[in-house]
Chain A
Amino acid sequence: MTAVAEQTPTFDCRIDFADELITLARADERIVAVCNDSVGSSNLVKFREEFPHRLVNVGIAEQDLVGVAAGLANAGFIPFVSAAAPFLTGRALEQIKADVAYSDRHVVLCGQSPGMAYGELGPTHHSIEDISWMRAVPGLPVVVPADPAQTRAAVRWAAASGRPAYLRIPRFKVPAVTPAGAVFETGRATRLAEGGDLTVIAVGTMVSRALDAAALLREQGVEARVVNMTFVEPLDVAEVVAAAEETGVIVTAEEGLLSGGLGAAVAKVVAEHRPVPVRMVGVPTFAPTGSTSFLLDHFGLNADGIAKAAREALGRS
């Protein structure tokens, strides 16, 4: 079904996250990792081996996790808070709002295993709401890397930004999609394929699937532009407006809830600047039981689903 995924190697981005964090920590002693009994699931075992005193484990206590990180930032550190995305963003939402964003503390919130990465463990462990919740916090960049290269770039960017940020680190394996030499800047999208009939705007695990959808559509005579909207906040408004003006139809794709996520952010810009048809591919509700792969297909979060939404938007279904 997803041709690229079957033929090309795929990667668990948590490995690149941890590896890049170690590289940064070697050069900057202000960097600390803060976790909630999540050393293994955040792939931080090597970090702990190399910097035993710079890995703070507060145990299973997410409110404390984020508060302590804000205090460490007060003390001059750059904390990378690494925890399973559903618990980090849900349990500690008010700490993220008050202690990090409103207090303007340079804390990097790293949501691990987001979306439906925990598959059969079910909606308690899925993080389909995190993009919407984090978007609702004023002044908090929401960064959704799509592959290993972007994960590494996001970690470097967040360490240097001097401001709080939320990074959504994929666990479900993804192929590499980022061209060599691609720039990684605040609020900057990457155009991965050109086409004049519509634009697919995707994030994270959906980016490679959007490229596969473009290949399917091409076979059907439809030329799709594909944009990787790495920053859901701040959104690349110019790229969205260009998509609306130049291609006339937009499909969004995200492994996240349709309420308030990437699709909603894009639709707001389209409605305000250049109304055109928009279709949103995402997760509509709590998932049934199934593996990540099964659930992505179940909700149409694959090349076929994106291509179908594109044909509907074009009135060719």
Chain B
Amino acid sequence: MTALDIAPRPLELDEAAARAYVERGARLRAATPAEAAPELATIATGIRRDVLTTIQAARMGHVGGDLSVTDLLVTAMWGTLELDPFDPANPGRDRFILSKGHCAAALYSTLASCGFFSRERLSEFMAPLSPLNGHPNRVKVPGVETNTGPLGHGFPVATGCALGAKLRGETWRTIVVLGDGEMQEGSNWEAAMTAAHYGLDNLTAVVDRNRLQQGARTEDTKKLEPLDDKWAAFGWEVRVIDGHDHQAIKEAYAPSTTGRPVAVVANTVKGKGVSFMEDRVEWHHKVPTDEQVRLALEELSR
């Protein structure tokens, strides 16, 4: 079969999954962080398993960052924001933007879990003509707010979404998740100034602080520390947390109480959940063998 033989199929709503998301998501949003945490952890484990099989099928991907960001994604989309898989363009929806777009496998797996499209379609990740490109495309993937991939793009766009809500007098929230290496892009600091200047307390910027970038440790490449002080100096309310503790994440995603935008510095482990991948730079975009996937899934079923 050649690429020309494949008719690209648009991604369509998974109605049963979407119904489940609407019901269960409402419950998890309303629950206290402590109450919601165990269930969010269960969902996150499922997402990690889907990430591994998705990358296994594609033979490509960014597994390390996918696994470090999973808990941040799941807690945002299942435990905090009100998304609408039945009407992804619903004007009043909350906005979620993954600025570190190379972790598309984690984003797609989480969007599928919410019913934006069927989980089965994850097997098309990066296949010829698939809507599931290596980096997210909003025109092709319902639930994606803006096309990301080149770093330093999602944050300014999220700032515009939050500013738009203010200008319209609307109450929707915007959460943007950034890679820590991505904070080396200057455009992010332009956005940080804009959001603080406009008092965008409806915006939360989350840094997936796994301390590794493509080639080496962030601190050996271009130092980010003291990262929390940098955010504070830019006029943000800063919350430093364990980015794998669902209770802490949900608490950190609570709305601002200071009138300032909120920066969550989430300390994470690249490759989290798979022992032989954890905190190892080579797993930025190394593809696991079938045997490694088997071992990883075994760890994730314990």
Residues of A within 8 A of B (CB): 32, 53-54, 56, 58-59, 61, 63-64, 66-77, 94-95, 98-99, 102-105
Q: Would you call B150 and A94 a contact (CB within 8 A)?
A: yes
Contact (A98, B149) CB under 8 Å given A64-B190, A68-B156, A74-B157: yes
Residues of A within 8 A of B110 (CB): none
Residues of B within 8 A of A (CB): 91, 95, 137-139, 145-150, 152-153, 155-165, 167-168, 170, 186-187, 190-191, 193-194, 197
Q: Please, could you name 19 A-B residue pairs with CB atoms under 8 Å apart, sorted by A?
A: A54-B167, A56-B163, A58-B190, A59-B194, A61-B193, A61-B194, A64-B193, A67-B160, A67-B187, A68-B156, A68-B159, A68-B163, A70-B157, A72-B167, A75-B163, A75-B165, A98-B150, A99-B156, A103-B147
Please give the distance in Å from B272's CB to the nearest CB on chain A. 28
Contact of A63 among B158, B163, B187 (CB under 8 A): B187
Residues of B within 8 A of A66 (CB): 156
Residues of B within 8 A of A58 (CB): 190, 194
Bound-complex Cα distance A68 to B166 (A): 13
Please give the distance in Å from B256's CB to the nearest CB on chain A. 18
Q: Would you call B150 and A72 a contact (CB within 8 A)?
A: no
Residues of A within 8 A of B165 (CB): 75
Bound-complex Cα distance A64 to B159 (A): 9
Contact of A74 among B95, B148, B153, B191 (CB under 8 A): B95
Q: Would you call A72 and B193 a contact (CB within 8 A)?
A: no
Bound-complex Cα distance A54 to B190 (A): 20
Which of B157, B170, B193 has the most A CB atoms < 10 Å from its CB?
B157
Residues of B within 8 A of A72 (CB): 160-161, 163-164, 167
Please give the distance in Å from A62's CB to the nearest CB on chain B. 8
Contact of A104 among B139, B148, B168, B191 (CB under 8 A): B139
Closest to B148 in A: A98
Q: Would you call A77 and B147 a contact (CB within 8 A)?
A: no
Q: Would you call B164 and A67 a contact (CB within 8 A)?
A: no
Bound-complex Cα distance A70 to B162 (A): 12
Q: Would you call A70 and B146 a contact (CB within 8 A)?
A: yes
Q: Would you call A74 and B164 a contact (CB within 8 A)?
A: yes
Q: DSSP class of A's interface residues: helix, strand, loop or mixed?
A: helix
Contact of A98 among B95, B147, B193, B197 (CB under 8 A): B147
Q: Which 5 A-B pairs have the closest CB atoms?
A: A71-B160, A75-B164, A67-B156, A64-B190, A61-B190
Bound-complex Cα distance A103 to B139 (A): 7
Q: Would you call A68 and B167 a contact (CB within 8 A)?
A: no
Contact of A59 among B146, B160, B193 (CB under 8 A): B193
Q: Would you call B157 and A67 a contact (CB within 8 A)?
A: yes
Please give the distance in Å from B117's CB to the nearest CB on chain A. 19
Q: Would you call B193 and A99 a contact (CB within 8 A)?
A: no
Q: Would you call A71 and B190 a contact (CB within 8 A)?
A: no
Closest to A60 in B: B190
Residues of A within 8 A of B146 (CB): 70-71, 74, 99, 103, 105
Extra contacts besides A61-B187, A98-B148 (9): CB < 8 Å: A63-B156, A68-B157, A69-B160, A71-B159, A72-B160, A75-B161, A75-B163, A95-B153, A103-B147
Bound-complex Cα distance A61 to B192 (A): 11
Closest to A94 in B: B150
Bound-complex Cα distance A98 to B194 (A): 20
Bound-complex Cα distance A204 to B146 (A): 33
Bound-complex Cα distance A122 to B223 (A): 36
Residues of A within 8 A of B158 (CB): 71
Bound-complex Cα distance A69 to B191 (A): 12
Q: Would you call A70 and B190 a contact (CB within 8 A)?
A: no
Contact of B157 among A56, A77, A99 (CB under 8 A): A99
Closest to A74 in B: B161
Residues of B within 8 A of A73 (CB): 160
Bound-complex Cα distance A61 to B234 (A): 15
Residues of A within 8 A of B186 (CB): 63
Q: Would you call B156 and A71 a contact (CB within 8 A)?
A: yes
Contact (A76, B164) CB under 8 Å given A67-B157, A71-B146: yes
Residues of B within 8 A of A103 (CB): 138-139, 146-147
Residues of A within 8 A of B150 (CB): 94, 98
Residues of B within 8 A of A70 (CB): 146, 156-157, 160
Bound-complex Cα distance A71 to B145 (A): 9
Residues of A within 8 A of B157 (CB): 67-68, 70-71, 74, 99
Residues of A within 8 A of B170 (CB): 75
Please give the distance in Å from B161's CB to the nearest CB on chain A. 4
Residues of B within 8 A of A94 (CB): 150, 153
Q: Would you call B191 and A68 a contact (CB within 8 A)?
A: yes
Please give the distance in Å from A71's CB to the nearest CB on chain B. 2
Residues of B within 8 A of A69 (CB): 160
